Structure 1
């Protein structure tokens, strides 16, 4: 690995161990075995490096989850079964990715005061929504995928918060499926 990759790996470790606000440039340099000056040279600032490391960690989580789902998915599974199984895998992933979600929730508290951080989060929203729609097998026009992805993003964020606060009582995929069916039935089929 080169200095840039070492810095990203070190920054990711620091994010998980110390969080965003408590991580110093010196922490990252120590964790990565790279000089302090290399942070500025490769990323411009500690914050830009931490943002890049967080983006990378989120992409890794999405790639790992997609790979796991692809390996275990039955190609002939009906949409309801796929929905429940996918959410079960997402919930299971929280056991190993808790620090990633903790950092994201920490950053949400700072988004209103940090325009660069807000821009980073906003820039990640569209691809995240499209990725979530794809993860659940939705294909078709981009506008619909974005809408469906926003719905899944809301569920994902809520589940992550519940997993952090009360991991023993996070809803299962089947629980979510039953809730969606109940809500949809209450709204009336075909109504817009």
Structure 2
């Protein structure tokens, strides 16, 4: 394995163990067992390496949320079952992968000052939207592009909010059943004009 791959693996370890903001170039080089100069040679900067490692981890996290689904979440299941299964998967991954999710939250804060990480996160959001709608609601609903984007955006907002609640207060954060119950109640209220 070359230095580039070792740097990526080391960056992922640093993100999990030290977080985004507290990882130094020396930490990255030590975790990769590589000379300090290899970071700039292969990635251009410490931030570029951390961003690449974080985006790789977040893309994998997104894949775990929508793939490996239990039977009740497959496209032939009802929309409510798929949605509840996805919320359970989100919660499970936040619990199991807490250090990396915390690093992602730190990186989102860094996006305010880093146009590159802001661009990468924004592109990841945008590329996820169409797939998220299809995974949760199926491809056969006949939604136009605007509706598909709106539905996916709402789900993404809910995932972000649910993730934050589980990071801050896991004892009182809502479970998958509670999220599904709340969404059904909101949908009924909207349909009735209330």
TM-score tier by shorter-chain length is 0.7 to 0.9
The answer to whether the 8 A contact 1:91-1:170 is kept is no
Summarize the alignment of residues 114-153 of structure 1 with structure 2, pairs less than 5 Å apart: 114-139=114-139, 141-153=144-156
Residue matched to 2:190: 187
Residue matched to 1:160: 163
Residues 36-84 of structure 1, C-alpha deviations (whole Å, 9 max, x = no match): 2211111111101100000100111122333321677456422112211
Give the structure-2-normalised TM-score: 0.87
Give, in whole Å, the separation in 1 of the partners of 2:125 and 2:77.
Answer: 29
The 1:31–1:135 alpha-carbon spacing in structure 2 relative to 1, beyond 3 Å, is farther
Residue matched to 1:103: 103
Instruction: Report whether the alignment pairs 1:39 with 2:39.
Output: yes
Give, in whole Å, the separation in 1 of the partners of 2:35 and 2:169.
Answer: 40
Summarize the alignment of residues 62-77 of structure 1 with structure 2, pairs less than 5 Å apart: 62-69=62-69, 73=73, 76-77=76-77
1:179 deviates by 1.2
The 1:59–1:84 alpha-carbon spacing in structure 2 relative to 1, beyond 3 Å, is same
The 1:122–1:74 alpha-carbon spacing in structure 2 relative to 1, beyond 3 Å, is closer
1:95 deviates by 1.2
1:174 deviates by 2.0
Give the structure-1-normalised TM-score: 0.88
Give, in whole Å, the separation in 2 of the partners of 1:66 and 1:187.
Answer: 27
Total equivalences in the alignment: 190
The answer to whether the 8 A contact 1:84-1:172 is kept is no
Residue matched to 2:17: 17
Residues 84-122 of structure 1, C-alpha deviations (whole Å, 9 max, x = no match): 122112111111111122112212323222222222222
What is the DSSP-based 3-state SS (H/G/I as helix, E as strand, rest coil) of the residue aligned with 1:68? coil
Uncovered stretches (5+) of structure 1, i.e. residues with no partner: none
Taking only aligned residues, the RMSD between alpha carbons, in angstroms, comes to 2.1
What is the DSSP-based 3-state SS (H/G/I as helix, E as strand, rest coil) of the residue aligned with 1:34? coil
